[in-house]
Structure 1
Amino acid sequence: MVIGVKSTALQFEEDPKQWLGGFSLAMLLSFCVAGGNCDQTLPYLLGCGCRRGSPSTPEEQPEMAVTTVVTVQPQGGVASASRNMWQTGLMDCCSDCGVCCCGVFCFPCLACQVAGDMNECCLCGTSVAMRTLYRTRYNIPGSICSDFCTTTWCLMCSVCQLKRDIKRRKELGIF
């Protein structure tokens, strides 16, 4: 029995190299756009490192940001964010479309960004251990079993939830 296997590239009869080059360029461009939307730098996108370095010279130091002090707290209505709950749900992708798009189009970048935010190795960004570490650090209810199930069956949603939660906690000053 002979099994014939044809390359998809052969379907572009005239010049498959030109078509494949175009597809490769489009994929690379999409990867760069998705990484740019996730605030990644070129070395970060190329996998040269999983943590951003701090500026080494005084000229490279960023200027101090002006902080706004809230003197009146909201009363009633919407409940404020709790320190020991997830800031967003597992499927709340629409609450931060940038994180969601980064997770869909550049998942390894998002996973490394989460790991970097937690001062861990890039390879740990999608692990059960990373989710459990984060959950226990902020006393979020759950178990290792629930972390395992979430990262096994909803990996992309799990990492997106971690990133949204980190962003919200940074905004609230509790990260």
Structure 2
Amino acid sequence: MSKMVVRQPQPVMDSLVSNDWSSGICDCCQDVPECCLGVWCCPCFACVISKRYGQCLCLPLLDMFGCIPPIGMSMRISMRHRYGIKGDMCKDCLYAYFCIPCNWCQMSREMKTRQIPVVLVNAAHR
């Protein structure tokens, strides 16, 4: 008796986008309305970006309880990994600490540029 094994093809994400951020940390002029919202109401803006990225809406509000904003830093690291952007945790830490509004604005611009929808898939099959 022989056994036949069938394997489904796995999805592959092919991207023609570079492995760098699509804009610099201080390139707020590329999206002035979002830059203004990020500067004048950063907590609200961070919550909107967090929700758009597929995370909890109020997650960025936890940033005010740490010396290095852990949510801004972890979202930045997650975004680098998701989109294949090169970088390191040291820069992520510096941007999250010293350039909070610029950090959130850059992540927003990146999501708009990449336009890769976040799809949550339940892998459990019965």
CA distance in 2, matches of 1:122, 1:83: 29
Matches for 1:1-175 after TM superposition, within 5 Å: 82-125=17-60, 126-170=71-115, 174-175=116-117
Which SS does the other structure have where 1:119 is aligned?
coil
Aligned counterpart, 2:68:
none
Instruction: Give CA deviations for 1:86-130 in whole Å, capped at 9, x if unaligned.
Output: 111111011110110111122112101111111112344452111
Larger radius of gyration: 1
Identity of aligned residues (%): 37
CA distance in 2, matches of 1:118, 1:92: 20
Deviation at 1:142, TM superposition (A): 0.7
CA distance in 2, matches of 1:169, 1:138: 8
CA distance in 2, matches of 1:130, 1:124: 10
Q: Is the 8 A contact 1:128 1:148 kept in 2?
A: yes
Structure 1 residue ranges without an equivalent (≥5): 1-80
Aligned counterpart, 2:67:
none
When normalised by structure 2's length, the TM-score is 0.66
Letter in 1 for 2:47: C
RMSD between superposed Cα atoms in Å: 1.7
